[in-house]
Every structure is written in structure tokens, then in C-alpha cells.
């Protein structure tokens, strides 16, 4: 019915379907909004805040806010870009992100967004948390040092795999990813490399064993073009109305 | 007419591997173009031992021992602009991967419990040796840093772009392909 519904995003008119979020409408129209916890196949989570825009002058997460006709949305402004850089800097100093030895390097959304937004300095003091890796599973390595708590693995394991392998535990700076087994070890769950939860981590936590650094530098996902040029890969898979996402 | 005064540049490697200096030398014949505009003060390239007043100080490596702290402070006191060059200076890099381990345990693992040590081997304690710090720190946790150039190492092209921007009086801007964390 409302074919003509649209809102304005940074001076550009963005059409939307009823039920779409601001993020989904923007991505469908080919406009990239930086995000980490949004995934085209999952319901929005609204936790990383990287997708924050200003809607009619008020900050809101674009992945959770339904699009509405006539909205004035600001995304690509110096103020908002600066806030997004700060969020990325906080994520980078809170974990142990040593990209040179990370198998996800070149495929990592956190890294690619750092490049996109020009994050060159840590700005804050580094936390250097102690987070031992879990190498117990025969096919998958868990390197908790890089977890950004986006809950995508939790959502995938719960909603798609029906296995409940992952959960978050603790509060505030102590919040961390845990494995749902008496021993806390991935080997003692029914997790498998074929699970959806093994495919969705935007950073380098859930890694297939014996596959590291298979793609040469220069040919990795975000080597040739910045993440904003990959906008088509983030378009919603179901565009409207009730059903997931 | 006088040619404009050459900028004085000092460089050093603290807790680094000299890879960033090697990458700097990788600008190859562009080094000759650069030398039209700069001259080196303290640097592994000149073997000058102490830093005089400089326009630009370039620090490779983080801070892992007491001597690193002294050298870093000498650079900060003498350089108008201080640059963190490479992953280790920016966030601690490879040496900081020891930060979750106890320093005593690491030294013991290398000098006491390791198999095949010569009889009588012990943890070195010569007063000439700088004392290691409990953890490795990036340089901005010790002194104010004006610019950061990440990468392990930053590519020669990134270093060239960065320095030519700076020498021309522009804010250095790397852009896609030159900004890299690995
Ligand atoms: S997860 Fe991403 S940002 Fe973190 S170390 Fe790996 S590549 Fe770098
Ligand atoms: S392991 Fe990956 S997918 Fe799971 S919460 Fe951490 S960052 Fe997100
Ligand atoms: S992508 Fe919207 S809050 Fe994370």
C-alpha cells in the first residue's frame, strides 16, 4: 500500500517497506550504516550502538528503530562519526586485538570499520584482559580475547541451531561469553562446525581449525574495497512484515 | 634566496623488531627525495646516541623496560611532533602478548626450567641491563603522542604518504589500503 513511504537520510530520500528498520531501508537503498551486532538474517539486537544515527535530532539505533515517513535521519556527520570512532576505540582496547596474528584479519568487521572510519589511535589505555582460549573442540577454536559481546553466536545457536551452546555471563566490564557445558569447554557441547553459530561471528572468536591464513593478503574480503562498498552483502534477506528478521 | 631549513627527524626502536625501520627504508629511492626536506638526528641510520632538538620524532615499538621509558621521554622532550610508528608503538603489538603472564614466570621459564640450559644458568641480573616492566605498554600511555601510524609494519607507501603529508603541512590522511592493523 504505502509504496510512496520514504524518509530523508543525510539529504537522500530513502524509500521503505512497512516493518523495515531505518537500517534495513538504508541498506536496501545502497546506503551503508556502520554496524556490528546487526546481521541481515537475525532480529536486531541494538547492543553495539555503532549504528546510532540522529532521528529528528535525537540519537537512536538505526537497526532497532522502525522507519517512518518523513523522518529526518543524520548518519554521516562529523559528530556521529566521532561517536562511532569512540565506540570502536573502546571495543579495541577492552579486548586483546593483535590483528597480525588473527586469522580473521582482512575478514573482520571490527577491523574493517576501524579502517572505514579512520581509527588509527587507541586513545584510551589498553585493558589487556586475561582470557584463555578454548582449543578443546576438534574442529573449532574459541579465542575469547576478541569477543565484542554482539550475541550473534548466541542468537544463531538458539534460534537456528536449537542448541543453546553460548551465553553471556557477568555484568559491566566483567561481562563475557561462556560455553553452556558443566566443564565450560566447547568439546563438551554438541557444537559442530556446520552450525549457524560457527558462521556468524563478525570478529575472530569462533574460528575453524586448520584453515588459518588461507587467503593471501590482498585477496581477503575487505582488502580491495572498504566495507561501505560491500553494502549489498548486508541487505536484509526478508524485506518486511513480521517474519524474521 | 635560502632554501627552507631542513626538518630534523629522530627515530628509534624501543620494544620493536626494527621491522618498521625496514619498512621505512622500503620507500627506496624516495628516501633521496625525502632527504631534500629532512635530515636525521638520533637514529639507527646515523648512530647519534642522543636526541637534540628535533621537528619530528618517530618511535617504533612499545615500552617494555626502564630504558625504553628514558629514551621515550628524551624524544618527547626534544621533538615538536611525536609519531607512534607501527602496531607495537600504537597498542603494544607482539611484545604485549606477554601481558597476561607473570614476568617472574616468563623469566623462570626461559632461564631456569627450560630444558637443555647450561649448568649454572640463572635469570640475568647484571646492573647494566635495563629492568623489564611488569607489562608492555603502548607509548601513548607514557607520553603525549601527536600522530599514530598503525600496521605491522605500516607499508612503505603508508609511511611515505604520512611523511609527505606532514612535511607539506597537511594533516596526514591514509585512506583505504594504507590504513592497516596487520
Ligand atoms: S578480531 Fe578483528 S580487530 Fe580483533 S584482532 Fe582479529 S582482525 Fe583484529
Ligand atoms: S563470539 Fe563472536 S558472535 Fe559471539 S558474542 Fe563474541 S563477538 Fe559476537
Ligand atoms: S548494529 Fe545497531 S546497535 Fe549494533
**Average pLDDT of the residues of chain A:** 95
Atom number of ligand 3 nearest to Cα A51: 2
ipTM above 0.85, yes or no: yes
Q: Name the DSSP letter for residue B15.
A: B
Band (A242; pLDDT cuts 50, 70, 90): very low
**Cα(B115)–Cα(B124) distance, rounded to whole angstroms?**
17
> Which are the contacts of A192, defined by CB distance < 8 A and separation ≥ 6?
A139, A198
Atom of ligand 1 nearest to the CA of A97: 5
Residue A53 pLDDT > 50: yes
| Distance from residue A146's CA to the centre of ligand 1 (Å) | 6
Most distant pair of Cα atoms in chain B: their distance: 69
Is the predicted pLDDT of residue A239 greater than 50, yes or no? Answer: no
Give Cβ neighbours of residue A112 (< 8 Å, ≥ 6 apart): A221, A222, A226, A227
Over range A96-120, report the average pLDDT. 98
Q: Which residues of B touch A93 (CB under 8 A)?
A: 91
With 60 as the cut, is the pLDDT of residue A2 above it?
no
- Report how far ligand 1's centroid is from the alpha carbon of A201 (Å): 11
pTM: 0.95
Average the pLDDT over A48-59 and give the result: 98
pLDDT tens-digit readout, A134-154: 999 999 999 999 999 999 999
Overall average pLDDT of the B36-45 stretch: 96
CATH entry, A106-208, from 3.40.50.300, 3.40.50.970, 3.30.70.20, 3.40.140.80: 3.30.70.20
User: What pLDDT, in 10s, does the model give residues B58-88?
Assistant: 999 999 999 999 999 999 999 999 999 999 9
Mean pLDDT value of segment B103-115: 95
Q: Is the pLDDT of residue A244 over 60?
A: no
Q: What is the pLDDT of residues B117-175, one digit of tens each?
A: 999 899 999 999 999 999 999 999 999 999 999 999 999 999 999 999 999 999 999 99
Question: Which class for B179: exposed (0-12), middle (13-18), buried (19 or more C-beta within 10 A)?
Answer: buried
Report yes or no: B51 and B10 within 8 Å, Cβ to Cβ: yes
Burial class (CB in 10 A: 0-12, 13-18, 19+), A19: middle
Q: Is the CB of A151 under 6 A from ligand 2?
A: yes
Work out whether strand B147-149 and strand B79-85 pair parallel, antiparallel, or are unpaired. parallel
Which chain A residues are closer than 8 Å to B165 by Cβ?
Answer: none
pLDDT average, residue stretch B39-63: 96
DSSP per position, B32-79: HHHTTTEEESSBTTTTB-S--SEEEEEEESBEEEHHHHHHHHHHHHHE
C-alpha cell at A84: 562511532
Average pLDDT over residues A202-224: 96
DSSP states of A120-161? ----SPP-------B--SSSEEE-GGG-----HHHHIIIIIS
Q: Which ligand is nearest to the CA of A101?
A: 1
CATH number of A7-76: 3.10.20.740
Chain B residues bordering chain A (beta-carbon distance below 8 Å): 84, 87, 90-94, 96-97, 99-100, 135, 137-138, 140-141, 145, 147-150, 152, 173-174, 176-177, 179-182
Are the C-beta atoms of A203 and A148 separated by less than 8 Å?
yes
CB-based contact A205:A144 (threshold 8 Å): yes
So where are chain A's domains? 7-76, 106-208
Ligand 1, atom 8, lies closest to the CA of A99
Average pLDDT over residues B1-20: 91
Region B14-42 average pLDDT: 97
The architecture that CATH gives domain B7-97+133-167 is: 3-Layer(aba) Sandwich (3.40)
Nearest CA to ligand 2 atom 6: A147
Whether ligand 2 lies within 6 angstroms of the CB of A48 is answered as no
Strand order in the sheet with B7-13: B38-40, B7-13, B54-60, B79-85, B147-149
The reply to whether ligand 1 has any atom less than 6 angstroms from the CB of A98 is yes
Predicted local confidence at residue B4, as pLDDT: 78
Contact B140/A122, CB-based, under 8 Å? yes
State yes or no: pLDDT of A67 exceeds 90.
yes
> Given a cut of 80, is residue A3 above it in pLDDT?
no
With 0-12 / 13-18 / 19 or more C-beta atoms within 10 angstroms meaning exposed / middle / buried, residue B35 is: exposed
Mean of pLDDT values over A169-185:
96
Ligand 2 center to A70 CA (angstroms)? 35
Cβ neighbours of residue B125 closer than 8 Å, sequence gap 6 or more:
none
pLDDT band at A238 (very low <50, low <70, confident <90, very high): low
Partners of B85 in the beta sheet?
Answer: B60, B149
CB contact under 8 A, A99 and B87: yes
Using the mean position of ligand 3's atoms as its centre, give its distance from the Cα of residue A39 in Å. 9
Comparing CB atoms, the residue among A98, A101, A121 nearest residue B148 is A121
* SS3 call for A140: strand
* Coil/strand/helix, residue B179: strand
Do the domains spanning A7-76 and A106-208 agree at the CATH topology level? no
Q: In this predicted model, what pLDDT tens digit does every residue of A14-41 receive, in sequence order?
A: 999 999 999 999 999 999 999 999 999 9
Residues of A within 8 A of B90 (CB-CB) are 120-122
- Alpha-carbon distances of A63 from A25, A33, A74, A241, rounded to whole Å: 10, 9, 14, 15
| Per-residue pLDDT tens digits for A203-212 | 999 999 999 8
Cell 626502564 found at: B66
- How many Å lie between the centroid of ligand 2 and the Cα of residue A144? 8
Cis ω for the linkage preceding A219 (within 30 of 0): no
Position A237 scores a pLDDT of 84
User: Average per-residue pLDDT in chain B?
Assistant: 96
Distance in angstroms (rounded) separating the CA atoms of residues A80 and A59? 9
A221 pLDDT more than 70:
yes
Amino acid at each position: 500500500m504505502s509504496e510512496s513511504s520514504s524518509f530523508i537520510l543525510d539529504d537522500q530520500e530513502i524509500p521503505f517497506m512497512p516493518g523495515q528498520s531505518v537500517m534495513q531501508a538504508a541498506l536496501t537503498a545502497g546506503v551503508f550504516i556502520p554496524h556490528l551486532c546487526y546481521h541481515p538474517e537475525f532480529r536486531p539486537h541494538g547492543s553495539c550502538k555503532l549504528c546510532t544515527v540522529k532521528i529528528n535530532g535525537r540519537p537512536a539505533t538505526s537497526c532497532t528503530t522502525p522507519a517512518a515517513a518523513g523522518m529526518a535521519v543524520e548518519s554521516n556527520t562529523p559528530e556521529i562519526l566521532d561517536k562511532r570512532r569512540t565506540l570502536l576505540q573502546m571495543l579495541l582496547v577492552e579486548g586483546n586485538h593483535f590483528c597480525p596474528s588473527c586469522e580473521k584479519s582482512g575478514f573482520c568487521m571490527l577491523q574493517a570499520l576501524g579502517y572505514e572510519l579512520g581509527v588509527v589511535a587507541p586513545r584510551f589505555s589498553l585493558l589487556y584482559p586475561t582470557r584463555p582460549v578454548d582449543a578443546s573442540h576438534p574442529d573449532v577454536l574459541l579465542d575469547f580475547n576478541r569477543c565484542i559481546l554482539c550475541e550473534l553466536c548466541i542468537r544463531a545457536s538458539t534460534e537456528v541451531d536449537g542448541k543453546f551452546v553460548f551465553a553471556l555471563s557477568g555484568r559491566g566490564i566483567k561481562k563475557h561469553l561462556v560455553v553452556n557445558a558443566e566443564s565450560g569447554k566447547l568439546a563438551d557441547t554438541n557444537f559442530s562446525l556446520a552450525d549457524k553459530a560457527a558462521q556468524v561471528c563478525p570478529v575472530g572468536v569462533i574460528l575453524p581449525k586448520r584453515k588459518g591464513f588461507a587467503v593471501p593478503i590482498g585477496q581477503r574480503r575487505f582488502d580491495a574495497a572498504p566495507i561501505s562498498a560491500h553494502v549489498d552483502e548486508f541487505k536484509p534477506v526478508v524485506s518486511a512484515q513480521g517474519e524474521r528478521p | 634566496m635560502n632554501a627552507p631549513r631542513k626538518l630534523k627527524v629522530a627515530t628509534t626502536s624501543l620494544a620493536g623488531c626494527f621491522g618498521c625501520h625496514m619498512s621505512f627504508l622500503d620507500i627506496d629511492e624516495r628516501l633521496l627525495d625525502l632527504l631534500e626536506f629532512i635530515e636525521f638526528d638520533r637514529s639507527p641510520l646515523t648512530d647519534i646516541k642522543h636526541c637534540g632538538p628535533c621537528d619530528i620524532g618517530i618511535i617504533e615499538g612499545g615500552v617494555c623496560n626502564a630504558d625504553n621509558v628514558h629514551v621515550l621521554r628524551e624524544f618527547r622532550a626534544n621533538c615538536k611532533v611525536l609519531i607512534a610508528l607501527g602496531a607495537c608503538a600504537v597498542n603494544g603489538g607482539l611484545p604485549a602478548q606477554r601481558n597476561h603472564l607473570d614476568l617472574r614466570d616468563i623469566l623462570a621459564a626461559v632461564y631456569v626450567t627450560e630444558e637443555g640450559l647450561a649448568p649454572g644458568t640463572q635469570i640475568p641480573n647484571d646492573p647494566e641491563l635495563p629492568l623489564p616492566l611488569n607489562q608492555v605498554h603502548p607509548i601513548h600511555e607514557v607520553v603525549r603522542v601527536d600522530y599514530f601510524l598503525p600496521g605491522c609494519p605500516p607499508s612503505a607507501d603508508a609511511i611515505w604518504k604520512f611523511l609527505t603529508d606532514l612535511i607539506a603541512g597537511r594533516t596526514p590522511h591514509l585512506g583505504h589500503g594504507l590504513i592497516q592493523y596487520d
